[in-house]
Structure 1
Amino acid sequence: METNFKKVRVFAFYLPQFHPIVENDFWWGKGFTEWTNVSKAKPLFPTHYQPRIPGDLGFYDLRLQEVQEQQAIMAGEYGIDGFIYWHYWLGEGKQMMQMPIEQMFENKNITLPFALCWANHSWYAKNWNSKGVKGKDKLLLRQTYPGIGDYKNHFRKVLKFFLDDRYIRINNKPIFGLYEPYSLPDVNIFIDVWNQLAKENGLDGIHFIAFNSQHKNANKPFEYKYDSSIVEYVGSSKNINNNFFKYFYLGVLKRIFKWPHIISYKKYLKHVLEETNKNTNVFPCIVPNYDHSPRSHRAATILHNSTPTLWGKLLDGVLKQLKDREGEQFLFIKAWNEWAEGNYLEPDLKFGKKYLEVLRNKIDENE
């Protein structure tokens, strides 16, 4: 899909995890999915919104093709221009959670555009107990970079997606994200190899996008051969409590009393709008909500008191900033369905479709 856009396009990250896999069965017990953590979550303080229970789509299983069809239809109706699927390639041909992506690719009833972002990180069992005390993490799967031969094999595996008419492109270049853009020991060689292979297969190259959790790294990708940069502001928002005494107080609560790291959504909103990078090759990535406690308990980071109204204020500000830019105007949302991070646009029982309705309204208002 060619994307020389004149208006802001909105893409949501998509987690292809919600189905049993052999590895999770072995590590965590038969039938484990992210829903296991989601359903067991408990509030850590009186106003803490947990557990978060899915609404319209329920506790779905991605082995059912109807689920992905319903998700794509819903996303399109409320202004999402495409899904960015997390893609797991651990080196030497080892892939994880590929079934939903393959199933979507084969299902031509799904017309929503898509792209891939390589979740190139090792898998660990995070050792947090119920009180938030952290021990030594256990390595489950190691991300490896065996070299040029593996880069070529990786490209061959994803080429069919790049050639699909639904795949999101910029100037005939499929976009491809890297979650840990600086972990590759030879990132420029990787980029050169893939660009050459893309040209040999009728494309003009690959548009490489580096994912950054801290806004201070927004321009770092351009020290390498990346074409653009995504900045997600949750990582840097941990430092927004700039009042020394409050920062010290919260640090004491976290370290001594095992209190989660709580940031008000209002402060997160203000932080994003103040720190948004104006570089035309840097795309913002915003979250409607964030709460890692289903996975990490009291060691969690929590954006507290997110509401559809505040989400609308954030969208309005970011969309207005993007409209003033030259070039591609992309807004990334993390995420469509990362439920165990309390980070989703899908309907839940408390708010229903309100976050989606606000998204649709703000997109319409800013066209």
Structure 2
Amino acid sequence: MSTKARVIAFYLPQFHPIPENDKFWGKGFTEWTNVGKAKPLFKGHYQPRVPADLGYYDLRMPEAREAQAEMAKEAGVEGFMYWHYWFGNGKRLLEKPFNEVLASGKPDFPFCLGWANHSWSTHSWNSETQWQKDQNIVEQLYPGKEDYINHFNTVLPAFKDKRYITVDDKPLFLIYAAKDIPDPKEFIDLWRELALKNGLKGIHFVAMHGGWMNDIQEYYDWGFDAVNSRALWHAEAKAKGKYQKLVEHKLRKKFGGVTLDKYDYEKVMKHYFTEFDKKDNVYPTVIPQWDRSARSGRRAVIYHGSTPELFKKHLEEGLEIIKDKPEENKILFLKSWNEWAEGNYMEPDLKFGHGYLDALKSCVK
């Protein structure tokens, strides 16, 4: 039976307190903190966003993780891509939910890892600091070969888990900012060598790319198997007009949030996919909604007017793009399952209920 799509949903684990967030934002800070404080910035702006079925969950609770997996499976999601934070020298954050998934064997739902290799700053997680000087919470470091080996050994039990998502029998590993790695080829070659020594057939490396799609060849030169595409700048420029976008960008850069970076969701999605997305080694992204104002206030990028019906149309275009690819490569990354403070989620809310889940299910199942 032919596969319509291998839908892999990005999954954010920042729904439980950690000491680093407590230190900068106050005791008990989680993703919900910003979600609950969001306010509408213009007439018809959908804020705040309130979860429905799952409530304001805590990912330390296995019941919450089980409910998420069941909901995703029912909608046609193949598995979750958990964001994985490794800052160098063994420093990790937000690892507890995934560690418990791995150790317990539950939920029995496929997964893979995405290395979110970027520094954490105060602007990353909270809008109240938007006018203040940015501060580093944790710096992303690349200490060298020994750290790469330690990193590999840390994720090896996940790679060997029967639930781990593979492409051509190789565990899929996504890297958020491949260009930030001092020598990406060295990293990839080393991990592939370690994989073979540990009984794996290799690793299927995917580089995330969010810029113009005509400059992706270097990823393949470094050894990446595929690129996860998000041609947002291209789509936004088309939706608003390149000149207007550049003028507004300069105004925001000079005067802060004097003008909102607001787009019509339908128009952006109309220009979103490119010819590059048809290539076997390019994995497109589908986006249900996008509104980062809960984190960034007036400096947020906002796609206004998303509905389950428009998301379904966007999905159908994505499925058309990948329909002739080999079965293993019919991958659509779903951004995201639960990025609530980015207004970028599939989980039910009070406004749309199961609308986005139903749209996905009607397209892929």
**TM-score by structure 1 length?**
0.92
Correspondences of 1:196-275 after superposition (within 5 Å): 196-216=193-213, 217-241=215-239, 243=241, 246-247=244-245, 250-251=248-249, 254=252, 258-274=258-274
Structure 1: distance between partners of 2:268 and 2:95: 33
Structure 1: distance between partners of 2:184 and 2:97: 28
Letter of the 1:183 partner, please give it: D
The structure with the greater share of residues assigned to helix is 2
- Kept in 1, the 8 Å contact 2:239–2:268? The answer is no
The alpha-carbon deviation at position 270 of structure 1 amounts to 0.8
Letter of the 1:316 partner, please give it: E
- Kept in 2, the 8 Å contact 1:128–1:134? The answer is no
Letter of the 2:296 partner, please give it: S
Q: Which residue of 2 aligns with 1:111?
A: 108
The alpha-carbon deviation at position 250 of structure 1 amounts to 4.3
Secondary structure of the residue aligned to 2:174 is strand
Root mean square deviation of aligned Cα: 2.3
Q: 1:112 to 1:355 in 2, by over 3 A?
A: same
Residues 1:11 and 2:8 are matched in the alignment: yes
Correspondences of 1:1-367 after superposition (within 5 Å): 6-126=3-123, 134-216=131-213, 217-241=215-239, 243=241, 246-247=244-245, 250-251=248-249, 254=252, 258-274=258-274, 277-326=277-326, 328-364=329-365
Gaps of 5+ in 1: none
Letter of the 2:226 partner, please give it: S
Once the two structures are superposed, residues 38-89 of structure 1 have per-residue CA deviations (whole angstroms, 9 ceiling, x without a partner) of: 0000000011100011110000001111000000000000100000000000
The alpha-carbon deviation at position 134 of structure 1 amounts to 4.4
Once the two structures are superposed, residues 229-265 of structure 1 have per-residue CA deviations (whole angstroms, 9 ceiling, x without a partner) of: 1012334434234536644674587465612200111
Secondary structure of the residue aligned to 2:164 is coil
Structure 1 stretch 227-236 or stretch 170-179: which is displaced more? 227-236
Letter of the 1:62 partner, please give it: L
The alpha-carbon deviation at position 176 of structure 1 amounts to 0.4
Letter of the 1:223 partner, please give it: D
Secondary structure of the residue aligned to 1:85 is strand
Secondary structure of the residue aligned to 1:182 is helix
Q: 1:280 to 1:144 in 2, by over 3 A?
A: same
The alpha-carbon deviation at position 273 of structure 1 amounts to 3.4
Structure 2: distance between partners of 1:158 and 1:247: 41
Structure 1: distance between partners of 2:247 and 2:200: 55
Structure 2: distance between partners of 1:130 and 1:200: 46
Identity of aligned residues (%): 46
- Kept in 1, the 8 Å contact 2:338–2:344? The answer is yes
Secondary structure of the residue aligned to 1:277 is helix
User: Size of the alignment, in residue pairs?
Assistant: 361
Structure 1 stretch 169-178 or stretch 342-351: which is displaced more? 169-178
The alpha-carbon deviation at position 171 of structure 1 amounts to 2.0
Gaps of 5+ in 2: none
Secondary structure of the residue aligned to 2:41 is coil
Q: 1:87 to 1:126 in 2, by over 3 A?
A: same
- Kept in 2, the 8 Å contact 1:128–1:297? The answer is no
The alpha-carbon deviation at position 132 of structure 1 amounts to 9.4
- Kept in 1, the 8 Å contact 2:121–2:138? The answer is yes
Structure 2: distance between partners of 1:143 and 1:182: 13
Q: 1:233 to 1:54 in 2, by over 3 A?
A: farther
**TM-score by structure 2 length?**
0.93
